[in-house]
Amino acid sequence: MLVGHIPPTDRHGSALGVAMADTDGTVGADSARGFDKADMRGNGALPGDIHDMAGTAAALADLNLMVDSMPIGVIVLDAELRAEVVNRAFYDFWKIDPRRAPAGSRFRDLMEASREADPSGGEEHAWQSHVAEREAEIRAGAAGSRQLPRKDGRTLIASLAPLPGGKRLISYVDITDMKQREIEAEDARRNLAVVLESLPAGVIIYDRDDRFVFANRKLQDTLPALKPAWQPGRTFREALALGHSVGYFRSSGDTEIDGLYGVDIERWLDAMLERYRLPNSSYERLNPDGRWYQVYDMRTDDGTFIGVRVDITDIKAREKALRDSMRQIDLYRHVMDELPVAAFIKADDLSIEFVNKAWCALTGFAKDEVFGKTDRELFATEEADGFSSDDTEVVATGAGREVEEAVTHRDGTVRQLMTRKSRLVAIDGSVHLVGSSTDITDVKAREQALRQSMSENEVFRSLIDNVPVSIYAKRSDLRQFYVNKGWCDLTGFSKEEAVGKTDVEIFGADGEAFVAGDLAVLRTGETQEIEETVTMPDGSVRHQFARKGAMIASDGSLYLIGSTTDITELKQREAELSEAQRRAVLADRAKSEFLANMSHEIRTPMNGVLGMAELLAKSDLDPKQKTFTDIIVKSGNALLTIINDILDFSKIDAGQLVLDPAPFNLAEAIEDVATLVSTRAKEKDLELIVRIQPGLDGQFVGDVGRVRQIVTNLLGNAVKFTDEGHVLVDVTGERVPAGTRLTVSVTDTGIGIPEEKLKLVFEKFSQVDTSSTRRHEGTGLGLAITSRLVEMMGGEIGVDSAEGKGSTFWFTVTLPRAEQGGQRIMPVDVTGARVLVVDDNAVNRSILSEQMASWTFDSCAAESGAEGLRVLIAAAAYGVPVDCVVLDYQMPGMTGAEMARIVRNTAGLAQTPIIMLTSVDQSLANTAYRDLGIDAQLIKPARSSILLETLVATIQRHRHSSAAAQPAVGNSFPQAAPAQAAASERAMLQPPPVRARPRPTDAERGLDILVAEDNEVNQLVFTQILGETGYRFEIVGNGRKALDAFGRLNPRMILMDVSMPEMNGLEATGAIRRLEEDMGTHVPIVGVTAHALKGDRERCLEAGMDDYLPKPISPRALLEKLDRWLGSDVETRRNAG
């Protein structure tokens, strides 16, 4: 059989060359067996005389074998359309038996043979018409090529080229595999198809002696500078040398050879020829014209060299485009994977092709567990049937669906979903189901249906474009390259207006802040969550919450991915909430003012009631009248208790009650309360028992006043609701890291509480017995206040009770332990200890001196702070220092605090123990007093037992801590200070000046007391009380009149009501103090107010008042204030009256 090598035509249809030989290796030249000699020298033939190629018979025989082995179908037709050359690939392509249509057969016979091999063709008439059309095309002789899809699914490229002598060359190339590779690449990019073009190849042949034999036109066109070296007889080395001279072959695929290119041409030529002698090699080469070629080199067994160059420039370009597309797919996949919405894609058989992280989190499955599986393989039957039914309907009809459905997580939890599904037909015709699910168990959110009609790239873009969130992506130069529909809706800009621009170009000045944030994200790689403000195209300002993060694609490119949510309405709601809170604060303030005013309005008449009742009780009354008076007093005090409860609760409710922690002795606090309640217990013949756990720490840090209030409420209730038996107070504790966990329980044998009422006892205004015949009265606030106080201390409160069997109320609090004063002080004999009493009140000095003497102390008394300092200095100078000072806080001139401060700052006196005597409203909880280093503080009138115990403990503690202390035996206070004591006194003692009006003689004295009070009842109360003192006094009705009377009457003391018409007491006090600045005087002013809220006393003192007296006014409290500010004159005048 005659075979031939017939390369395919180039893209222009020109023949690429042919050489033929008989099977025995001889060259054929007659028209019946091949081309004649003249034809071989024509277009597309090998150059040179064919007879000159006789010496290359062996090489041509190999060429003949190669052509017959080529995967290109070749047929050469003569002018009569008879087949002169047919290779094996042609018969294989068309499934023709060579014996049925051998060489020499007509083209029509070949087509008939192919029809017989595949009898599924059309009707005879149509077939004959088809054959005639093909013959006409061949006779026309126009060069060209076209694709021939075959019924078996394979695709051929048929190329027609004219040959000399009217002959025709037809070649067939099977491009099915190449098409398949393109389809696979298209599938890898999710239906983003890039059609790959088939490129012809350049071929060159050298014989075993490396002499030129053949080069086709395609090769010559690509390397035109080598044509002079491609002549018969020219050597391979000459071609390489010529190529080197024009810059060819710089890239050989071998770095060692390439290194010789511009260094040593001879060594480079030797190395290249040596390489070409290898049996087979394949590499890519860049042509000087910029095109890329895949080079295949082969040495046959007889030494013939065959080289094939395939232009892969377009393939390389498509590969780059494919990489770019895959990078973009990675980006879209990343965005899809990070969306907070569960997304999925299914094939037409409902097997899962894609799920994102949110879907996995929603179901509990990992991605690699679900790919390729259906819902029935993953979920329970009932759920899977529902999912599959909807999916099937969507795929079949193409109608999107939005359904609410339930899905069971792998851990068994059930979530409610809003799912949207739609059908997508890709470019390749494949059908997909795309969907998204939003978890609406907690928050119902509508999701836009995901409808796709494009490749995988378009699927992701469509999903992103329809989520209800603004999403954008920027390149590293911060220019937008993608924005979704949500972004456009949010900003008002279209995609065309945004893509390719920076934020500054889009948003103007607002965009500068966005760019700064973007740069920070790209620089650090950290995700950023910020609030931004942007001006819309219509001029409106929107608030946005933005989340940005950097992403590095598979090729190393840097991108910024972000999402934005409009929070303008949220900001508006926050502003409205802030305004509501501001109004609530104002309302709370108004409520506090109302409570203060209510307290004033109630306490003002109560002052009159109680004041007159106490005055009436002192008059001559018969027993019946005495009973009525007692009832008035008790009822008034009960009403004040109710008012105090209401005010306490309102302060707690408003968050205005502040705890004042300070060191205190728990046992003393509990026993004090028991002492107060013991009178009521005794009246009911109840036994009151107090038990303190042995070994319990004594000193704690807490608000002792509130602790007493809690215990008082619980103990008072226990006594109130117990008619017989006992009441037990039990205090226990255990140490914990934060201090000591204390438990205080109050157990009674009273009436008990029904079980259904137990949960209500701590509610405000709650009472166990609410009937009209109830025996026990109260507001129902006591336990509510107690409960809230315990909560403020971080504790718990509760009750255990059974009706008729008594109750146990308990509370627990954890309090820090206070300093216990070091090691336990061993008893020390303090007999004869030197005690200095400093008090401006003569009666108090006398009583205290008598007590000191009865306790065998060596005492001395001073009537002022200055005198007391002189005594201290003189005693120290004589070597008999004072062991303890009992100091009154409130004194004219130098106060007790001022004296204590001087003592602490004076060398030789600083360590002297000081016990301060204060009134109830001057508690040492105030840090200013603690800073003075006061050793102990007692509230007047101090119980003698407590005063003695405090003195002994203080002196013992001081003597133990002072190594230089010596017992005072035989020494007593000096009667006069020596000269050195006087000198040191002058050096150390500079008491502050006191701007007090000099006390006038009786002849000079004007008004003693000026009273400013607008209420007529209270004016009467003041008249009755002051009338018994013998003092001269005058009452005016408002602050303005008080200011006028001050200038006229020159009073020694002013009682100033705070709330009055025209000018209130605070304003009047300020005006008086301004007048006194010019006069150089200072008149004591005592504020009188019915307000009972925190800060009232401070307001009075800040206004310039010296003291504070709450309403209702009792005669005793008023007389104590007169004693304090007018001295012992009040007693003298009372006796004189």
The H or E element containing residue 107 is helix 107-117
Q: Residues 456, 482: one domain?
A: no
Confidence of residue 930 (pLDDT cuts 50, 70, 90): low
* 1034: enclosing H helix or E strand: strand 1033-1036
Residue 186 lies in a domain: no
621 part of a folded domain: no
Question: Does residue 574 fall inside a structural domain?
Answer: no
Evaluate if residue 475 carries a pLDDT over 50: yes
Q: What is the pLDDT of residues 540-558, one digit of tens each?
A: 888 888 888 888 887 888 8
For residue 993, the model assigns a pLDDT of 33
Question: What is the rounded average pLDDT of the residues 187-200?
Answer: 41
Q: What is residue 188's predicted lDDT score, i.e. its pLDDT?
A: 55
Q: Are 349 and 336 in contact (CB under 8 A)?
A: no
* Same domain (yes/no): 456, 476: no
Which tokens hold the place of 646? 């209401």
DSSP-assigned beta bridge partners for residue 365: none
The count of structural domains within the chain is 7
Q: In sequence order, what DSSP letters do the residues of 895-954 get, joined into one string?
A: -HHHHHHHHHTSTTTTT--EEEEE-TTS-TTSHHHHTTT-SEEEESSPPHHHHHHHHHHH
Cα–Cα distance for residue pair 169/14, rounded to 1 Å: 10
Looking up residue 678, the CATH number of its domain turns out to be: 3.30.565.10
Nearest 5°: phi and psi at 1088?
Answer: -120, 120
Whether residue 438 sits in one domain with residue 360:
yes
Q: Residue 268 belongs to what domain range?
A: 201-311
Instruction: Label residue 1006 by pLDDT band (50, 70, 90).
Output: low
Q: Is the pLDDT of residue 748 over 90?
A: yes
- Overall average pLDDT of the 1011-1037 stretch: 86
Q: Find out whether 156 and 93 touch, Cβ atoms under 8 Å.
A: yes
Model pLDDT, residue 1099: 81
CATH number, position 967: 3.40.50.2300
pLDDT band at 1043 (very low <50, low <70, confident <90, very high): very high
pLDDT at 967 over 70: no
Q: Mapping DSSP to helix (H, G, I), strand (E, B) and coil, where does residue 472 land?
A: strand
pLDDT > 90 in the chain, percent: 13
Residue 986: its pLDDT value, please?
39
Looking at the fold, whether 295 and 229 belong to one and the same domain comes out as yes
Q: Which of 465, 482, 512 is the last residue of a domain?
A: 465
d(CA 546, CA 76): 71
Which pLDDT score, from 0 to 100, does residue 1055 have?
A: 96
pLDDT digits (tens, 9 = 90+) for 699-732: 999 988 889 889 988 998 899 899 998 888 899 9
Residue 989's pLDDT is 37
Residue type, 672: D
Cα dihedral 142→146→151→153 (10° resolution)? 160
Task: Measure the CA–CA gap between 725 and 295, rounded to whole angstroms.
Answer: 116
> What pLDDT digit, counting tens, does each position of 1093-1127 carry?
556 677 888 889 998 888 777 788 888 889 888 87
Single residue among 135, 158, 174 that ends a domain in this structure? 174
Note the pTM of the prediction, 2 decimals.
Answer: 0.32
419 shares its domain with 543: no
Residues 668 and 699 reside in one and the same domain: yes
User: Residue 639 carries which side chain, given as an amino acid letter?
Assistant: L
Strand order in the sheet with 342-347: 352-355, 342-347, 431-439, 414-425, 401-408
282 plus 409 within the same structural domain: no
Q: What is the average per-residue pLDDT within 1026-1030?
A: 84
**Residues 770, 845 within the same domain:** no
Helices (H), 684-808: 704-720, 782-792
Q: Which of 926, 955, 988 is the last residue of a domain?
A: 988
What values do phi and psi take at 1010, rounded to 5?
-105, 125
Same domain, 240 and 383: no
Whether 495 has a pLDDT exceeding 90, the answer reads no
Check if the beta carbon of residue 390 is closer than 8 Å to that of residue 421.
yes
Give the separation between CA 63 and CA 821, rounded to whole angstroms.
116
Both 767 and 854 in one domain: the answer is no
Does a structural domain hold residue 307? yes
Query: Measuring CA to CA, which residue among 342, 416, 409, 413 is closest to residue 378?
Result: 409
pLDDT band at 176 (very low <50, low <70, confident <90, very high): confident
Edge-to-edge strands of the sheet including 155-163?
83-86, 72-77, 167-174, 155-163, 144-149
The CATH number given to whatever domain includes residue 395 is 3.30.450.20
Q: What is the mean pLDDT of residues 314-330?
A: 80
Query: What residue has token string 């390397």?
Result: 223
pLDDT-wise least confident of 410-424, 477-491, 873-887, 983-997: 983-997
Looking at per-residue pLDDT, the higher value among 533 and 1040 belongs to 1040
Checking if the pLDDT of 364 tops 70, the result is yes
Domain assignment present for 316: no
Tell whether the model's pLDDT for residue 811 goes beyond 90: yes
What is the pLDDT at residue 7?
36
| pLDDT greater than 70 at residue 33 | no
As a whole number of angstroms, the distance between CA 984 and CA 728 comes to 58
Cis peptide before 164 (omega within 30 of 0): no
Kindly report, residue by residue over 451-472, the tens digit of the pLDDT: 444 455 676 777 777 777 888 8
Amino acid at 908: G
Least confident of 256-260, 553-557, 968-972: 968-972
For residues 18 and 39, state if they share a domain.
Answer: yes
1051 within some domain: yes
Helix-helix angle 944-961:842-854, to 10 degrees: 70
Could you tell me if 240 and 388 lie in one domain?
no
The four Cα atoms 322, 324, 328, 331 give a dihedral, to 10 degrees, of: 120
Pairing outcome for strands 884-888 and 914-918: parallel
Q: How far apart are CA 179 and CA 428, in angstroms?
A: 14
